[in-house]
A and B are shown apart, each in its own frame.
Chain A
Amino acid sequence: MPSLKLQYQVDGTDFTRAGEASSSVKKNLRKLGMPADIIRKVSICLYEGEINMVIHADGGVIDVLVYPDRIEMILADTGKGIADIDKAMQEGWSTAPDEVRSLGFGAGMGLPNMKKYSDEMRIESTVGVGTTVYMTVRTGASQSA
């Protein structure tokens, strides 16, 4: 059983609110006394994922499960899906519209950053149905701790 379960509905219509879920998770992990470097890895993974949900998928649902030895993140949307996941994982490859670039994102770094800062990442996507991203960050503690 996870020691903490968090769930967020991400609003896909308001870019100014993107990041609120990630910010709340960060606050919760800090309350649990997680090490700063672990919190930062989780924050980056979630924030990039949350931004992606707003840019590409009109929002979605984020679940965060905190276990002693790991933090699991599941980001599920019912957006347009990713046609070529390998391509989407390449740094610099992006389908984001220009207006997103003027907001400081859309440079094709989101998924590579998520891969870089998570210990495990898996993407399931079907075009026209949606995308689910699974990420795990290990805390370095043992499972029973």
Chain B
Amino acid sequence: MTVRDVARILNAKVLSGEDYLDIEVHDACGSDMMSDVLAFVKDQAVLLTGLMNIQVIRTADMMDIVCIVFVRGKIPDEEVLAIARRKEIVVLATDERMFQACGLLWDAGLGRR
């Protein structure tokens, strides 16, 4: 699926990276613990998280993660979004909780090849 599909499935707002919505994604990782994310190496992945600081963007950058989804209706501040834009990372915000958001994407086939 594409990042655009992820946004549609989660009924998510696009907060940054509108130009990159057609990138294909193959897998996803849901965690608030960035060291766990750093132990997860997959290409073209999505990161779902409830953590709201700059280290989320830096972690995604290090891991070449193409899309970050903030769950539970959280909106990061402008400083976080500015770095995401600079790193060309798509940032989405969904009202779904972590468990539901992961379930919806899994159900739609993400990470199940």
Contact = CB atoms under 8 A, between A and B. Distances in A.
A19 B36 contact: no
B39 A47 contact: no
Interface residues of A, number: 23
B53 interface: yes
Nearest to A114: B38
A110 B55 CA distance: 14
Contacts, number: 68
A116 B39 contact: yes
Given A19-B62, A22-B62, A40 B41 contact: yes
Question: B interface, by DSSP: helix, strand, loop or mixed?
Answer: helix
A107 B31 CA distance: 12
A69 to B, nearest CB: 22
A113 B39 contact: yes
Interface residues of B, number: 19
Given A104-B32, A104-B35, A107-B36, A26 B53 contact: no
B56 interface: yes
A103 interface: yes
Given A22-B62, A104-B55, 8 more contacts: A15-B55, A22-B58, A40-B62, A47-B58, A47-B62, A104-B32, A109-B38, A113-B39
Q: Can you list the 3 inter-chain pairs with the closest CB atoms, starting with the nearest?
A: A109-B35, A104-B34, A19-B58
